[in-house]
């Protein structure tokens, strides 16, 4: 992953109005981040995020600023010694297909490398996008159960059709990803959602 604060010359127009910067988010970006997330969450393409969620995780975020406006963002959330998730990744529809999604993801991957996290995963519908960045598809069941705690807020829960993609910075053996499944901090969905999986009368 290459280091760059601004996008490559070919994607950066000369005018300040269109100047593109990818930078860590600050607290005052949060409302713009929420405005970007909300329409995607309504379409169940992304998980909804409250302002509280976003303020509490603002340090996970990189934003894409175009001419002073937030045009996209992505977050890297560390879950374990060797595991982090790319989440809340989106580019405003007016700016999609310009390489911004790829550039912000590369910045998040550089952050994962800096933190010496060995693996990064995402739950997504954007298989081709992540494959273009070197991710591979894995069985969702291999991911730590903890991550499903957020899924109860999704419109599609529990009928999730997202795929899991993983990028390994170093080789790992086949099998469960992240913390050992038997650890007590792993969330049990049947405790979180009483009655889950039981037949309705
Ligand atoms: C996914 C998303 C962030 C991609 O951002 P983007 O800025 O449009 O993507 P880029 O222009 O950086 O594209 C990077 C590469 O992925 C490919 N790509 C991007 N979106 C794609 C799509 N929907 N289907 C197929 N390929 C896609 C591009 O062709 C490009 O490939 P290349 O580098 O070989 O030319 C954006 O489409 C988006 O916001 N989608 C809605 C929200 C969402 O689904 N987020 C993902 C949650 S994990």
- Sketch the domain layout of the chain as residue ranges: 9-192
The Cα 164–Cα 194 span in angstroms is: 26
The Cα 65–Cα 171 span in angstroms is: 35
Q: How close is the Cα of 127 to the center of ligand 1, in Å?
A: 9
Nearest atom of ligand 1 to the alpha carbon of 124 = 48
Superfamily name with CATH number, domain 9-192: Gcn5-related N-acetyltransferase (GNAT) (3.40.630.30)
Closest C-alpha to 155, from 34, 46, 39? 46
CA-only gyration radius of the chain, Å: 18
Q: How close is the Cα of 96 to the center of ligand 1, in Å?
A: 7
* C-alpha distances in Å from residue 192, one per residue of 85, 147, 150: 21, 12, 11
**94-126 pLDDT, tens digit each:** 999 999 999 999 999 999 999 999 999 999 999
Q: What is the predicted pLDDT for the residue at 69?
A: 96
Q: How close is the Cα of 131 to the center of ligand 1, in Å?
A: 10
pLDDT category at 173 given cuts 50, 70, 90 is confident
The structure's pTM equals: 0.84
Q: What is the predicted pLDDT for the residue at 182?
A: 58
The mean pLDDT value for 62-87 works out to 96
pLDDT category at 1 given cuts 50, 70, 90 is low
Closest C-alpha residue for ligand 1 atom 12: 99
> Nearest 5°: phi and psi at 73?
-165, 170
Whether 47 contacts 153, CB under 8 Å: yes
């Amino acid at each position: 992953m290459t280091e760059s604060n601004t996008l490559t010359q070919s994607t950066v127009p000369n005018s300040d109005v269109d100047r593109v910067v990818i930078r860590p988010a600050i607290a005052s970006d949060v409302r713009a981040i929420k405005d970007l997330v909300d329409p995607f969450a309504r379409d169940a393409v992304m998980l909804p995020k409250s302002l509280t969620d976003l303020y509490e995780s603002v340090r996970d975020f990189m934003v894409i600023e175009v001419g002073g406006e937030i045009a996209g963002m992505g977050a890297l959330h560390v879950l374990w010694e060797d595991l982090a998730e790319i989440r809340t990744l989106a580019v405003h529809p007016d700016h999609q297909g310009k390489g911004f999604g790829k550039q912000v993801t590369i910045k998040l991957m550089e952050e994962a490398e800096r933190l010496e996290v060995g693996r990064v995963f995402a739950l997504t519908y954007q298989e081709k996008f992540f494959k273009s960045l070197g991710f591979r598809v894995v069985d969702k069941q291999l991911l730590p159960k903890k991550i499903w705690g957020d899924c109860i807020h999704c419109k599609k829960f529990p009928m999730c059709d997202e795929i899991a993609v993983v990028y390994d910075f170093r080789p790992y053996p086949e099998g469960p990803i992240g913390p050992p499944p038997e650890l007590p901090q792993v969330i049990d969905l049947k405790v979180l959602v009483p009655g889950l999986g039981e037949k309705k009368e």
